[in-house]
Chains A and B, each alone.
Chain A
Amino acid sequence: MDCEQTARLIHEYLDDDIHRDDELELKKHLLQCADCKERFHALQQTIALVQSTSHIYAPSGFTDRVLAALPKETLAQLVKKRLQQHPFLVAASLFIVMMAGSMTAYWHEDRQVQLSADQLQQLQIDHLNNKVIVPANSVVNGDIVVRNTDIAVEGEVKGNVVAIDGRIYLASTGSITGNKEEINQAVEWVWYNLKRVAYQIIP
Chain B
Amino acid sequence: MGSIEEKLIKKMAKGDRDAFAELVELYKDKVYQVSYRMLGNAQEAEDVAQETFLRVYANIGNYDPSYKFSTWIYRIATNLCIDHLRKRKQVYSLDKQVEGTDGLDWHDRLADQSPNPEETLLTGELQGQVQQAIESLTPKYRSIITLRYIEDLSLNEISEVLKLPVSTIKTRIHRGREALRKKLNL
Instruction: Give chain A's interface residues, CB within 8 Å of chain B.
Output: 11, 14-15, 17, 39, 42-43, 45-47, 49-59, 62-63, 65-67, 69-70, 73, 77, 80-81, 84
Q: Does B33 contact A (CB under 8 A)?
A: yes
Task: List which B4-29 residues lie within 8 A (CB) of chain A.
Answer: 14-17, 20-21, 24-25, 28-29
Question: Is B46 within 8 A of A15, CB to CB?
Answer: no
Number of A-B contacts (CB under 8 A): 100
Question: Is A62 within 8 A of B49, CB to CB?
Answer: yes
Partner of B177, one of A47, A55, A57, A66: A47
Residue of B nearest to A52 (CB): B130
B104 → chain A closest CB, angstroms: 27
Q: Does B150 contact A (CB under 8 A)?
A: yes
Instruction: Give chain B's interface residues, CB within 8 Å of chain A.
Output: 14-17, 20-21, 24-25, 28-29, 31-33, 36-37, 42, 46, 49-50, 53-54, 57, 122-123, 126-127, 130-131, 133-134, 145, 149-150, 155, 170, 173-174, 177-178, 180-181, 184, 186
Residue of B nearest to A57 (CB): B29
A8 → chain B closest CB, angstroms: 8
Using Cβ atoms and an 8 Å threshold, which residues of chain B touch A70? Answer: 17, 20, 54, 57
With contact pairs A46-B184, A77-B15 given, residues A62 and B36 touching in the complex (Cβ less than 8 Å):
no
A41 → chain B closest CB, angstroms: 8
Using Cβ atoms and an 8 Å threshold, which residues of chain A touch B134? Answer: 50
Using Cβ atoms and an 8 Å threshold, which residues of chain A touch B25? Answer: 63
